[in-house]
Amino acid sequence: MEQLTTIGLNHYLTISAFLLGFGLFAVMTRKNAIVVLMGVELILNAANINFLAFSKYNGGMEGVMFALFIIVIAAAEAAIALAIVINIFKIYKSVDVSSIDSMKE
């Protein structure tokens, strides 16, 4: 009971493990490229929770700064990935990742 009512490091690690699992599941099972991107965002959020949790219980600022940079990289990644998805849609008229099998139009 003590374990459950006192919020500690393990609680945050549990949430991030679930988010990572769900993100991997989305990346692996979905055919729609946009849902695959959502899975990648879930994985990045899981990593961020871990960084901040370890940073809080360690007392340093390294994890916080890393989390900030991860958010910036995630924004850049989402923009580029969406641009690529839009190009794929223009060429193939669908965003089904399993039907995209050639490098040329």
Partner 1 sequence: MSNQTYTVIFYLFAAITVCSAAFVVFTRNVIYSAFSLLFTFFGVAALYVFLSADFIAVTQVVVYVGGILVLLLFGVMFTNSIMQAPQKSEVLHIIPGTLLLAGITGALLYTFYTTHGWMPSETTLQGSIVERIGFETMSRYVLPFEMVSILLLAALIGAAFLARFDKPGK
Q: List residues near partner 1 by CB under 8 A.
A: 5-15, 17-26, 28-32, 34-35, 37-39, 41-42, 45, 48-49, 52-53, 55-59, 61, 64-65, 67-69, 71-80, 82-87, 89, 94-96, 98
* Smallest gap from residue 102 Cβ to partner 1 (A): 18
Tokens of 28: 């692996």
User: 3-class DSSP state for residue 81?
Assistant: helix
Question: Using N-to-C axis directions, what is the helix angle for 33-58 and 9-29, rounded to 10°?
Answer: 160
Q: How far is the CB of 104 from partner 1 (least distance, A)?
A: 17
| Residues paired with 32 in a beta bridge | 96
- In terms of CB distance, is 28 or 102 closer to partner 1? 28
Q: What is the closest distance, in whole angstroms, from the C-beta atom of residue 66 to partner 1 in the complex?
A: 9
Q: How far is it, in rounded angstroms, from Cα 20 to Cα 104?
A: 34
Give the C-alpha separation, 71 to 97, whole Å. 25
Nearer CB in complex with partner 1: 68/102: 68
Name the minimum Å distance from CB 11 to partner 1.
7
